[in-house]
A = this chain, B = another copy of it.
């Protein structure tokens, strides 16, 4: 099956603009991508959808999924959701609707407006823009992030150099020194046990506090947290 989509603007040597229109094919990969997107409970990223498609097409490439999500959204067959400043999501529902976005884990869900809110919008002054549409999005915290169990929110970059626990070697030393102690310790004490300079210990403590692995119940005294103990495991 062939469908006509995607106009590429170009300009010939005489200066006239025209559009290149090219035939697209409905390949097996595209059919499966569309089907899995319809089945997906929610609005997946390319990577999340790739995991589903790969179950059905073992040889499919992540680049193919990325490429086709852009092509299919450009062709108007699916919606592209750009609600986070770093990662795109996709939606099989082409109808205008409202989303809610979690500020912590970046998850996106559908949400309905109260019926009396559903009106058409118009901009007062288009400022030269040609307006093609609008979107409304709610933001807040999802149920999971509200309970805040072990969930620390969206993906954060961990240093592969540090290993799976997200600890660099100096941080591990500091954490191990704290783990040995039954009471909150000062930086100097930690430095002694860890065999490190006190200034370096101070820096690592700052980083570990940000990761939630170290706490300061008394000023200038530190102790390992539950997360910190898990990170050492």
| A residues lining the B interface (CB < 8 Å) | 8-13, 15, 17-18, 20, 80-89, 98, 100, 102-103, 109, 111-115, 117, 119, 121-143, 146, 148, 209-210, 212, 214-217, 223-227, 229
Contact = CB atoms under 8 A, between A and B. Distances in A.
Nearest to A88: B85
Contacts of A212: 8-11
Nearest to A90: B85
Contact of A81 (B85, B117, B119): B85
A122 B117 contact: yes
Contacts of A111: 123-127, 129
A216 B18 CA distance: 10
B117 A117 contact: no
A143 B127 CA distance: 8
A131 B100 contact: yes
Task: Kindly report how many copies of this chain are found in the complex they form together.
Answer: 2
Q: Which has the most chain B C-beta neighbours within 10 Å: A10, A83, A135?
A: A10
Contacts of A224: 13
Contact of A134 (B112, B128, B138): B138
B129 A141 contact: yes
A102 B130 CA distance: 9
A174 to B, nearest CB: 15
Nearest to A104: B9
B146 A13 contact: no
A185 B43 CA distance: 46
Contacts of A134: 136-139
